Amino acid sequence: MKRILSNRIGTIIKEKKGLEEALDVKLSNRGKELSIEGEPLEEYEAEKVIDALNFGFKIEIALMIKEKELAFEVLNIKEFTKRKDMHAVRARVIGTKGKTLKALTELTDCFIEVHENNVGIIGHPEKMKIAQEAIESLIRGSKQASVYKFLEKHHPKPIVDLGLKEKRKI
């Protein structure tokens, strides 16, 4: 049995039945403490989903951790900068009206949220590495255009066969 302290216990309790079905565990709460009971692997996956919910991700996105086998990571902004004005650093990552955050999400195929001095990322592990590098660059002061260029360069393009090339007969 795992126990987690949750700041967003209300959201979890509202969706308790759906979460229990999707995660294949039993959830119970006592105040802000949430208990997870189930098989060890399900408990671990449920803990990651609950952590993502506590961070501020929507339930549909947090459940993708289990459904699509995505990973969840948290970056602490303070680890990558010596600046004291965290508000300005967070603003660089979010961008005007959230444009930078939206562009990062689209270019990395990851879900990204900013909460206090942390950045949460949900995505495939290989894509998350690129997303982490981009976010670290922004925190350290790189221009948004440079980061977008880096992401476009590392963004895999799907190969589409248009059927134009004739196939050889052997």
Supply the pTM of this predicted model: 0.84
pLDDT at 128: 92
pLDDT at 8: 86
Classified as helix, coil or strand, 57 is coil
| Spatial contact of 125 and 68, defined as CB atoms under 8 Å apart | no
pLDDT at 121: 96
Phi and psi at residue 104, in whole multiples of 5°? -60, -45
Q: Which CATH number fits domain 71-154: 3.40.50.1220, 3.30.1370.10, 2.60.40.420, 3.90.1490.10?
A: 3.30.1370.10
pLDDT-flagged residues of the chain (< 50): none
pLDDT at 159: 61
Cα–Cα distance measured from residue 94 to residue 102, given in angstroms and rounded to the nearest whole number: 8
pLDDT at 7: 84
Cα–Cα distance measured from residue 121 to residue 144, given in angstroms and rounded to the nearest whole number: 18
Classified as helix, coil or strand, 148 is helix
> Taking the alpha carbons of 101, 72, 6, 63 in that order, is the dihedral positive or negative?
positive
Residue closest to 11 by CA, chosen among 48, 62, 45, 65: 62
From residue 14, how far is each of 11, 19, 123, 154 by CA, in Å?
A: 5, 10, 25, 40
